[in-house]
Chains A and B, each alone.
Chain A
Amino acid sequence: MTAQTTSQAPATHGTPVTFDHVNKRFGRTQVLHDICLEVPGGQTTCIVGPSGSGKSTLLRCTNRLEEPDEGRVFLGDTDVTDGSADIDAVRARVGMVFQTFNLFPYRTALDNITLALRRVRKLPAEEAAERARAQLASVGLAGLEHRRPAQLSGGQQQRVAIARALAMEPEVMLFDEATSALDPELVKGVLSIMRDLAGQGMTMIVVTHEMRFAQEAAGQVVFLDHGRLIEKAAPDKFFGAPESPRLQAFLSAVT
């Protein structure tokens, strides 16, 4: 599978994301402790850590699928957490890919992509379909436009989900364990699309267990444990010379 450069590369590269003293509790459990993190524009930031460490919750604060209890999140200059912010407009600027794909089951691959193009971007039907077709081709799925999700393999479904997010021409892409639910032989195709995307200068926040991907594609890697940001470094240093004992223990356990 070759995922070439998409013809609709986002016009606005390099929107940074800033987490400013973000706290989040579920009931009495504090899942995020005072997280401060700069995600530079046009780079990939990988978030790693044991399960339950708050990685996904932090990611989901970016487009407020989770509401931070305290602290602020900025998308470029926009305060996402401002109560008066138009959250739908913010979300249309941020693409998100989920662990379980979350395709709309009764829509074809093409219709999964055109729905938001038509309803949110207000494109005419023809133009939306055209853009969706091109986007599907760019993730190697030309010819499968009319398949339903149930008629696609997990890897193909996830590529449709990526195409669906990219067709909106987002400024930032969020990946929430995008390859965790895939059979091993299907992981590569999805990672290669993500790698290409990173190479094109898309701002990406990637929650992942794929340490090799983090090593090769990330500009910075962040280690979360028990809701705290423990360590943050460039991949060479992160994997080559981890400082905190918890990160050292984590890395020796997973590699």
Chain B
Amino acid sequence: MFEGLQRVWETFFNLDLIGQTLPTLLRVGLLNTLLLAVLASVIGVVVGVVIAAGLMSSKVAVRLPCRVYVDVLRGLPHILTVYLVGQGLPLAGITLFGESTYGYAALAIGLLEGAYMAEIFRAGFQSVEKGQTEAARSLGLSHLETLRFVVFPTGARRVLPPLTGQFILVIKGTALVYLLGLTAGQREMFAIAQDTAIVNASLSPLVAAGLLFLAITVPMTYAVNAWERRLRDGRKDAPADSATDSATDRDRALAHQGTG
């Protein structure tokens, strides 16, 4: 029993090795991971909103391609999508990003995360009560103005919690970039950890990377939750009294359904 624990400890929690790995992780990996994650998330959100709007279109010619996009990209193994975009595009002569692995990796991860985000946004937009739309239309706002000023602001806030989950997946998904080949300075956290792990025949470097992933994702989750609360409740100078809070409770319930 004790020996077993010791073996686990040495394999995963070799402090020397963790200490050796951390500087490179922080100096090279962290920045690359964040850069990829931010690029991919921006692409994912833009793709997600556009595809979500397409999924809600009344025109089959618009809805169908969007549906196919979501179903295919969510259904394929992510590794295959990364290869298809990252190696397929250059092979086809579409060298959008020249030799930069990062551009293709960010595009690939962004495109596939966009498929998941599209469904999240669609659910959020469709959760906006019909009464909201009717009130806006009854005031003379056009269909597009109603989407832009009423449906989008409400729906986007409601999807913040499930969207945060998706951002976490994007951050972890950046590990897939190794598939496209990296120079030493391009490696993100997981690639660095994996290389060190192989050299030292120990999994401890991966634990070091894991700690850094947690150091990014956990504070981000709390930050987004705090931001969401602020958006929902407004500034603190207007205290809620005699308030019927059913609307916000419903918002929260809806938002959490999306994560399930």
List the interface of chain A (C-beta within 8 A of B). Answer: 63, 65, 88-89, 91-92, 94-96, 98, 100, 102-106, 108, 115-116, 119-120, 146-154, 161, 164-165, 168
Closest to A120 in B: B140
Q: Tell me if A116 and B140 are in contact (CB < 8 A).
A: yes
Q: Tell me if B131 and A102 are in contact (CB < 8 A).
A: yes
By Cβ-Cβ distance, the 7 closest A-B pairs, closest first, are A92-B140, A116-B139, A102-B135, A102-B131, A96-B138, A120-B140, A151-B240
Least Cβ distance of A247 to chain B in Å?
Answer: 30
A150-B248, A151-B234, A151-B243 known; A104 vs B150 contact (CB < 8 Å): yes
B129 within 8 A of A: yes
* 20 additional contacts (CB under 8 A) given A164-B135, A164-B139: A89-B140, A95-B138, A98-B134, A104-B153, A105-B132, A105-B154, A105-B251, A115-B149, A115-B150, A116-B140, A146-B238, A147-B238, A148-B238, A150-B232, A150-B248, A151-B240, A151-B241, A153-B242, A153-B243, A165-B139
Q: Tell me if B240 and A100 are in contact (CB < 8 A).
A: no
B99 within 8 A of A: no
Q: Tell me if A119 and B145 are in contact (CB < 8 A).
A: yes
Give B129-164 as 1s and 0s: 1 = Cβ < 8 Å from A's Cβ atoms: 101101111111110010001100110010000000
Interface of B is mostly: helix
Which residues from A are CB-within-8-Å of B94? none
Q: Tell me if A102 and B129 are in contact (CB < 8 A).
A: yes
Interface size in chain B (residues, C-beta < 8 A): 35
Q: Tell me if B139 and A106 are in contact (CB < 8 A).
A: no
CA distance A108 to B235 in the complex (A): 11
B245 within 8 A of A: yes
Least Cβ distance of B247 to chain A in Å?
Answer: 5
B253 within 8 A of A: no
Q: Tell me if A150 and B139 are in contact (CB < 8 A).
A: no
Q: Tell me if B245 and A150 are in contact (CB < 8 A).
A: yes
CA distance A108 to B233 in the complex (A): 11
Determine which of B139, B232, B235, B238 lies in contact with A115 in the assembled complex, contact meaning CB atoms within 8 Å.
B139
Q: Tell me if A106 and B140 are in contact (CB < 8 A).
A: no
B6 within 8 A of A: no
Determine which of B135, B145, B153, B243 lies in contact with A150 in the assembled complex, contact meaning CB atoms within 8 Å.
B243
Least Cβ distance of A104 to chain B in Å?
Answer: 6
Q: Tell me if A91 and B138 are in contact (CB < 8 A).
A: yes
Closest to B245 in A: A150
B244 within 8 A of A: yes
Closest to A92 in B: B140
Least Cβ distance of A139 to chain B in Å?
Answer: 17
Q: Tell me if A149 and B247 are in contact (CB < 8 A).
A: yes
